[in-house]
């Protein structure tokens, strides 16, 4: 574990306000950026940048090189339909899920349900106060799932932060009944080792399996001790969610020693995260496949037996990848896009100094068949627009845009905005549309921008950390066929088979 990882993990679990942005900025100034987790459950304090960086940001705005402060700019083929500001939940906006005419928006203070039957005028149906970072969210049938990755005094929605060194502290999964969208009911809680940073659903007719990703163990944490190189698997009976329970903890990175296997990180691999678990998993149920973004490793595995996943291949990129953050299959399941969250989402990495291959997407082809399949690197993609040194910017959450015969996705880049890009040619990906706002500040590095940007039933929806819920409309002949594809439910980490 790097020093910065250790500091942020301790601060997140202890409930101490972290000046993560300052730490990240210092590391970026000193040399190659160390990998870090996503921000904790307390606001990141804006960190003043140097007078030189502030002056360069102002000059870039005046010259038109970057948009003005909070100014909206976009390519001609994207329209900004509307923005719904935050309301009763002031915390950091996080992930999104969709079901029928509803969008579900996570927030570090709870979640919000929107009626998007008219995407031009979304209406708030309900807001639920239930603090706990990062409130990663998904839905299946009448159940809503919420991740808690901060040490809490108990599993209630009235809990407070409490040191993870105390055995009574709680972290894990929460389950709500959303049969009444106006009045969601909290029905179950399952504690998981090291909490639940993110989670992924593997839905079946009678049960929903939940793959829980978590990391950063510490010998001082009774419920999160190393080695931790695995995932918690929860089984949730649809008709009796109160019986939800952990049914397995498969070790994905077996190895000898107190820290297990996986990427050792620094000093062996400087600037690379030590693998102590997974950050995010994406499953493709129609193909019985899953891809894992696991800090210092990327993995491909079979979920034919959902309670006992089996590793097929494992890859590392110790030159350009710092923190394997998330994964996206293409529709044919012969490619995986992995994202590198260099700087943990709190650093300015979309600039000339960092370059085009770090804090980017890595495109891997899947070759071979069955258990002999391999992940083969083909190329990187990063947004081509440089951002200011006051803007946190790095590859983050995105989804496929369902166009038959093409590989196109939309993706969030924090203050880098929303990017639509084509990776049909794995070795030569190209951006085809974008939307972004100018920097939140010109004299400080402040956390903001799009956390998640997903395509759902004809529109792009973005959950902006500070600005709220954005709706975008894409008009482009390359993506227009996607308008005819309609889903009843979308959890992006549970990828649908769009074309059967």
**DSSP string covering 189-254:** EEE-TT--SEEEEEE-SSEEEEEEE-----TT-TTSPSP--B-EEEEEETT-GGG-EEEE--BSS-
The verdict on residue 315 lying in a domain is: yes
313 domain residue, yes or no: yes
pLDDT of residue 258: 72
CA-CA distance, 86 to 96, in Å (whole number)? Answer: 14
CA dihedral 218, 224, 229, 230 (to 10 degrees): -170
CA distance readout (Å), 293 to 34, 82, 192, 321: 17, 32, 19, 11
Q: Would residue 495 count as lying in a domain?
A: no
Q: What is the rounded CA–CA span in Å between residue 304 and residue 83? A: 41
What's the length of the chain?
Answer: 500
Residue 310 lies in a domain: yes
Task: For residues 139-143, give the mean pLDDT.
Answer: 98
State how beta strands 489-490 and 468-474 pair. unpaired
Is residue 363 in some structural domain? yes
- Report the number of distinct structural domains present in the chain: 1
45-63 mean pLDDT: 88
The confidence score (pLDDT) of residue 259 equals 73
d(CA 458, CA 103): 14
Q: Which residues pair with 450 in a beta bridge?
A: 414, 464
DSSP H stretches of helix in 155-195? none
Each residue's pLDDT tens digit, 301-320: 999 999 999 999 999 999 99
pLDDT given at position 34: 30
DSSP state of 58: H
Structural domain of 17: 3-490
497 is a domain residue: no
Residue 500 counted as domain residue: no
Domain of residue 84, CATH code: 2.130.10.10
If pLDDT is split at 50, 70 and 90, which confidence band does 44 have? Answer: low
- Residue 267 within a domain: yes
């Amino acid at each position: 574990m790097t020093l910065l990882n250790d500091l942020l993990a301790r601060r997140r679990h202890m409930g101490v306000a972290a000046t993560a942005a300052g730490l990240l900025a210092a590391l970026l100034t000193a040399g190659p950026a160390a990998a870090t987790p996503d921000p904790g459950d307390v606001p990141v304090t804006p960190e003043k940048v140097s007078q030189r960086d502030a002056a360069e940001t102002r000059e870039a705005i005046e010259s038109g090189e970057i948009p003005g402060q909070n100014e909206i700019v976009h390519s001609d083929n994207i329209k900004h339909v509307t923005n719904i500001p935050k309301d009763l939940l002031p915390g950091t906006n996080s992930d999104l899920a969709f079901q029928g005419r509803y969008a579900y928006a996570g927030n570090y203070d709870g979640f919000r349900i929107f009626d998007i039957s008219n995407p031009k005028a979304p209406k708030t149906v309900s807001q639920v106060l239930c603090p706990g970072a990062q409130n990663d969210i998904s839905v299946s049938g009448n159940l809503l799932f919420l991740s808690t990755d901060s040490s809490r005094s108990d599993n209630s929605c009235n809990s407070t932060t409490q040191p993870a060194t105390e055995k009574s502290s709680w972290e894990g999964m929460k389950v709500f009944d959303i049969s009444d969208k106006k009045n969601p009911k909290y029905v179950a809680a399952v504690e998981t080792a090291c909490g639940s940073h993110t989670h992924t659903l593997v839905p079946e007719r009678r049960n929903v399996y939940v793959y829980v990703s978590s990391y950063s163990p510490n010998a001082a944490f009774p419920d999160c001790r190393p080695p931790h190189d695995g995932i918690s698997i929860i089984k949730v009976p649809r008709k009796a969610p109160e019986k939800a329970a952990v049914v397995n903890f498969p070790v994905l990175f077996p190895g000898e020693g107190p820290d297990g296997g996986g990427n050792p990180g620094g000093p062996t691999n400087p600037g690379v995260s030590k693998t102590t678990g997974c950050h995010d998993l994406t499953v493709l149920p129609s193909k019985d496949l899953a891809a894992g973004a696991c800090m210092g490793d990327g993995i491909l595995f079979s979920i034919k037996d959902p309670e006992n996943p089996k590793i097929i291949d494992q890859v590392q990129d110790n030159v350009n990848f710092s923190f394997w953050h998330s994964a996206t299959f293409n529709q044919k399941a012969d490619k995986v896009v992995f994202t590198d969250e260099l700087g943990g989402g709190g650093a300015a990495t979309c600039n000339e100094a960092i370059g085009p291959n770090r804090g980017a997407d890595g495109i891997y082809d899947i070759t071979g068949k069955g258990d002999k399949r391999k992940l083969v690197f083909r190329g990187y993609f990063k947004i081509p627009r440089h951002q200011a040194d006051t803007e946190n910017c790095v590859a983050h959450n995105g989804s496929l845009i369902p166009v038959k015969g093409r590989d196109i996705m939309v993706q969030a880049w924090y203050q880098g905005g929303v990017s639509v890009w084509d990776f049909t040619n794995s070795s030569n990906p190209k951006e085809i549309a974008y939307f972004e706002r100018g920097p939140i500040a010109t004299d400080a590095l402040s956390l903001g921008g799009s956390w998640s940007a997903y395509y759902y039933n004809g529109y792009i929806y973005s959950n902006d950390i500070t600005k709220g819920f954005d709706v975008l409309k894409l008009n482009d002949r390359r993506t227009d066929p996607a308008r005819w594809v309609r889903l009843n439910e979308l959890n992006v980490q549970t990828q649908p088979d769009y074309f059967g």
